[in-house]
Structure 1
Amino acid sequence: MALPWALAVLSLLPLLDAQSPACPNFSVPITNASLDQISGKGYYIAWAYRFPEFKKEASEIHAAFYYLTPNHTEDTILLREYMTMRGQCIYNSSNLRVHRENATLSKYENGTEHYGHLLFPKDPKTFMVAYFPEDKQNMGLAFFADKPEVTQEQMEQFYDYLTCMGMDKSEVVYTDEKKNLCLPLEKQHEEERRKEKERSETGTALD
């Protein structure tokens, strides 16, 4: 009877696979190519956090975008964030540490180093960061994309990962680009960097 039972189980595998969302792989090492993939400007699309500190701050964010500038040799990423919260634009600049082998990024905040698992779904224009994936009480998942609006297919990839981690759609908080108040500050910073670059190039030419 063992063989018929085994065959019956095997016949069900395609069906089970079709119904179960693909779980995120937390063990894919970070490479220069993957760092380049997330570099540049991107947008916070949605997140679900159970860790109280993350959950509280995220509930106050209406819209957010960022710039990531990786340093391959030092294994760091310069993060510049523009967040619309509490009716104003909040700008932050910080450095993330890259831990290539265990596929995590970390950031010091309030004296604590917080770790997040960098995840790459099928669509290369998106990525996710998972927090405390083994801790049901504190786990979280954040979704990022290169545009403020994502397709339904891209969103479904986020939902699949969320479900596989054991979280629910009802826990998700979404951003709204229409509430973005940071465009004037972004423009100001771009102008400042342009002038700084011109001064630097002029100085180099004079030398």
Structure 2
Amino acid sequence: MALPWALTVLSLLPLLDAQNPACANLTVAPMTNATLERISGKWFYIASANRNPEYNQSSQTIQAAFFYLTPNHTEDQILLREYTTMGDKCIYNSSDLRVQRENRTISKYEWGREHFAHLLFFKDPRTFFLAAYLDDEKNRGLSFYTDKPVATQEQLEEFHEALACLDMHKSEAVYTDWRKDQCEPQDSQDEKEKKTDEEES
């Protein structure tokens, strides 16, 4: 899924420091083993707000999406397995993300170049964000993920708060619709095959 990873490395700290005190809870996550374990597992892409035209157009094509993150601490990599519904079809992709601990970033090589993302945490430990172009008002973006296919009202409010912290409006957001997901059957089959392989080995 191109959208969440087509990002640029930019420091969040100057932007967030300029906001009101309520935004102090929106923090750039350090790339520690504990951070990587926190995002390990299955996550669902819920929404994003992107002012960059390319990323905004990409977000419009995603009907539903979820993915698995499996960190490898010794290699500073994360195995990414993505299931994206586009055009009422399921698209599966597997790739490796790189972890830059010193820069507090995660990157993915895509579209002929390497893209970087800042991982952000806010209040709910069952959510996280990826941010783009934070010092560029015309291209700024924020993507939102939860551990369930449908976000709670409180989680959506947290997303809107995070947008406000970045001087963005909730009307800029584009949302996925889990009712349009076409990938859950393939995921279930993949998990069964994976379990069978593990039992046989």
Q: TM-score range by the shorter chain?
A: 0.7 to 0.9
CA positional deviation for 1:195: 2.7
CA distance in 2, matches of 1:196, 1:138: 44
Is structure 2 residue 49 aligned with structure 1 residue 24? no
Counterpart AA for 1:40: G
Partner of 2:110 in structure 1?
A: 109
Partner of 1:174 in structure 2?
A: 175
Partner of 1:123 in structure 2?
A: 124
Q: Contact 1:22/1:161 (CA < 8 Å) preserved in 2? A: no
Unaligned runs of 5+ in 1: 1-15, 201-207
3-state SS in 1 of match to 2:27: coil
CA positional deviation for 1:142: 0.5
| Relative contact order, higher structure (CA 8 A, sep 6+) | 2
CA positional deviation for 1:150: 2.0
For this pair of structures, how many residues does the alignment match?
183
1:60-105, Cα deviation, whole Å (9 max, x unpaired): 1111111100111111111111111111111111111111222211
Q: Contact 1:45/1:174 (CA < 8 Å) preserved in 2? A: yes
CA distance in 2, matches of 1:186, 1:25: 32
Is structure 2 residue 176 aligned with structure 1 residue 161? no
CA positional deviation for 1:21: 4.3
Structure 1 segments (4+ residues) deviating >6 Å? none
Partner of 2:6 in structure 1?
A: none
Partner of 2:135 in structure 1?
A: 134
Q: Contact 2:119/2:131 (CA < 8 Å) preserved in 1? A: yes
3-state SS in 2 of match to 1:59: helix
CA positional deviation for 1:151: 2.1
Unaligned runs of 5+ in 2: 1-18
Distance 1:171 1:23, change over 3 A: farther
Partner of 2:80 in structure 1?
A: 79
Please say which structure displays the higher CA radius of gyration: 1
Counterpart AA for 1:59: Q
CA positional deviation for 1:157: 1.7
Q: Contact 1:64/1:81 (CA < 8 Å) preserved in 2? A: yes
Partner of 2:41 in structure 1?
A: 40
1:27-49, Cα deviation, whole Å (9 max, x unpaired): x4221111111111110111111
Q: Contact 1:118/1:130 (CA < 8 Å) preserved in 2? A: yes
CA positional deviation for 1:17: 5.2
- Equivalent residue runs for 1:179-194 within 5 Å: 179-194=180-195
CA distance in 2, matches of 1:21, 1:197: 44
